[in-house]
Amino acid sequence: MLSRFSEAVSFTFSDCMFLVFPDADRSKLREFCAAIESILAIFIGYELPLRGGAAYGDVVYRDRFLLGLPVIDAYSYEQLIPAPLVLLPTKELVSKDSAIVPSRAQPVEAVELKGGGIMEGKLIWPTPEDSYLRFVRERSREALVHGPPLVAEAWARANEFVQKRSARQIPGV
């Protein structure tokens, strides 16, 4: 899956990583989502959960320089979700010259946002989903025991968020 996006350029800033796919178009959405699922799974395998946002549009980049509205949008989307997943809002799926959303190819849902509010979009999950659900559940339990309290609260909310939206039910959740 990832080899299809070998042209991706990565940038890091603080604790953020940005992936830029030059000349990407919305017709490659399914492949893009599959690549993100794979990336999330790789990091979960190392017990490094990622949370992110995906945006579409023109950016300017060179060496250590990245600028564009999609950068700001992706960062903003990442801040909205209470669990380590990637949010791809429906508005990013809609072509500026068309109001057609490819929902049959990539189903969307109403996503409850951290701090209140709701947005339609696609949540991109790591695969396999059951391993991810166990990881979040275990992190939540670990944080409840060892703290600190605000971290425990964040993991408890993340666990509730993913369990509620999961297509699978994992025993002991």
> What residues does each domain of the chain span?
2-126, 128-173
- Contact, 129 vs 167, CB < 8 A? yes
Task: Look at residue 96 in the predicted model and tell me its pLDDT.
Answer: 54
Q: Give the amino acid at 54.
A: A
Task: Look at residue 95 in the predicted model and tell me its pLDDT.
Answer: 58
> Which stretches in the chain have pLDDT values below 70?
1-7, 22-28, 95-107, 167-173
DSSP string, 25-64: -GGGHHHHHHHHHHHHHHHHHTT----EE---S--EEETT
Task: Look at residue 3 in the predicted model and tell me its pLDDT.
Answer: 56
Q: pTM for this one?
A: 0.81
Measured from the Cβ of residue 5, the count of other Cβ atoms closer than 10 Å reads 18
- Contact, 79 vs 85, CB < 8 A? no
Task: Look at residue 22 in the predicted model and tell me its pLDDT.
Answer: 67
